[in-house]
Structures are given as structure tokens and as C-alpha cells.
Amino acid sequence: MSAGPRSVLLAGGGTAGHVSPLLALADCLVRRDADVAVAALGTAAGLEARLVPARGYPLHEVPRVPFPRRPNAALVRLPKALRSAVAAAERAIDATGAEVVVGFGGFVAAPAYLAARRRGLPVVVHEQNARPGLANRLGARGAAAVGVTFPGTPLRGATLTGMPIRQEIAGLDRTALRAQAREHFGLADAPTVLVTGGSLGAARLNGAFETAGAALSAAGVQVLHVTGTGKSVDPGTTTGAAYRVVEYCDRMDLAYAAADLVVARAGANTVCELTAVGLPAVYVPLPIGNGEQRLNAATAVGAGGGLLVDDADVDPAWVEASVLPLARDAERLAAMSEAAASVGERDGDEKLADLVHRAAGAG
């Protein structure tokens, strides 16, 4: 392998789907070479504004430039806004001395790709979803390397790297940590469902489980419900198993270790973390976007490690009729766990770092 780069600029932000793999790659690059300088490009309003500095990496800000899907006033303003964002990305490249730019899609990535090309730097693209977004479709044209999370992602010349995931997840031994994890959340040794709808898609899941909480508790199924910041729920009086509500969980490794079953959206990062640790899941794709969440879950569902449920079907009656009996079926959950783990990848960060090293050497 060629010598690694001395400085890398990572571009991605807005949602955890972009920020989480960005941070996982940053950590991997630093593990490989403690002297490498890693910085990130992001917006002032996205999750990256908090998470990137908290992990110890400098964040260089660029203005948010959404790409309108239809003619409107934002489309008229796009050229000026894009020029401003590209200029900010160029300043970040100059300030960091970056030798390679790695983009993860979203509003931040397109200006970064354009700035890198103007500076003559190699670009590496990583696409999280099975169906790529506009920024990465553009960035992949002429990129030094393209990494994808799922097989069949339609980007020319792509390498299947899987998803870069955090080391605390990639190295998780759920069985060894189960007792500690359940104690951490105040849970007992009982069938446990983890419910999480992410930052954008929590409302329907929250409402369904809030109403069904008493029935789950009475049946001996305990719930760890991550509702999303500012979206707490109240399941009312529960007379049996525990129903724990947290708005934000900064120890998802322990949440995964505590759970026997997960009910979640099918964001790429979620799917990849659950399969990496071998967790059975009920995936409820968001009914917006370009249908990428349904495709994201396809491999896990096809292997038998998960179930796919339409958003419109999620209500309290569905929770009681479908989720409750599944959570109590230990034999079926064990088979699903094995199937999920069979398609899980734990070394996506290393594979993407390989692409970064090769691109830097070629550049």
C-alpha cells in the first residue's frame, strides 16, 4: 500500500447518515497514522457542528446549499450560493493543506468535490445508500475512487467497502455486555425491544409504541425507546415489564447489547450497524426521499435477518399483533440474529481508508 496522506479533508453533514461514517473514517485514518491531519467540512446547523468538534476534529464551515428538485426561488439563487460554498471549501483546502478530499454526499459534498477539482486534488466518494443521491452521482464522475455500502449501487467503477461504523459498534460483543447494558438502562433480564426512529422519522413509531406500551409491559416485554430530542413519549402506567424512554442515547453500543429485537427506520447507517452486531430488526422505511431506505434493508431482509413493514401499517394494533409475539419468540430471534450477522460488515472503515490511501498516492 502507498504511503498515507499527510492531510485529509472529509466532507459530509446534515444527518447522522453522513456524519457517523465520516467520523468512523476519521478515527480509522488516525489509528493508522497518528500524524495525519484530519479535518471536516460541514455546516453550522447540522449535527456535524456538535459531533465533529466533540470528537476532536476541526470543522470548517460552508454555507448550506440545497439542490431544489423542481423550479422555485431557491433554484434561481443556486448559482450564487454554490459559488459561495465552493469558495469556502477552497479556503478549507488551503487552510488544511489537504492532499485528498473524501465526500459522503449531502449538501456539503458537492461544493467540496468542485473545490477539490479546482485545486487539482483527488476525490474519494462514499455512498451510504443503495440508491445514490445527486451530489454523489456528480462527485463520482472523475473521482479517484468510489466506495459503496451495498452491492448493486449504481455508481460506475464503485468498490464495495460497506459502511464505516464506529469501533464501539464494530467490536461489540452483545452477549458479553448484555447484563451491564440492561443495568445501565434500568432493565431486567426479560425480552427487550429497542425502538428508534432517528432524527427525522420518529413520529409514527413513537405514537404507535406509546399507545401500545401498557400491552407490551403486561405481556412481559420491556422496551427501550429512543424517541429523538424533544420528542419524549409517555406510555402511561405500566404494571409489568419496564418501559424506558430516553430522548437521545449516546451509548448505542449498550442499547444494542440490551436489545433482543429492534424496530427502526432503514437508514443505511442503522441497517449496517444492526447487521454488524447481528441484531434482528423490523425495518420501517421512511415513505419519503427516493425509496433508498427500502433498498437499504433489502439484503438483510433477504437473508432473513429482518422484516420490512410499510410506514402506513405501523399503529398500536400492529405493535400488539406483530412486534409483541416476535419479541417473545426466542427461537425465531436467534435464527434472525444469525442471518443478520451473516450479511454484516465490521471493517468498512478500513476498506474505505484503503481507497483514501491509494487515491492520495495516485494524486
Phi/psi of residue 100, nearest 5 degrees: -155, 145
Amino acid at the residue 183: E
- Cell numbers 484503503: residue: 354
Q: How far is CA 78 from CA 11, 82, 93, in A?
A: 19, 6, 22
The answer to whether the CB of 124 falls within 8 A of the CB of 29 is: no
Q: Which residues pair with 11 in a beta bridge?
A: 41, 103
Cell of 298: 433489502
The answer to whether the CB of 98 falls within 8 A of the CB of 124 is: no
Q: What gap in Å lies between CA 88 and CA 236, rounded to an integer?
A: 50
Side-by-side strand order, sheet with 59-61: 59-61, 37-42, 7-11, 100-103, 123-127, 145-148, 159-160
Binding site for UDP-N-acetyl-alpha-D-glucosamine: what residues are annotated? 15-17, 129, 166, 199, 293
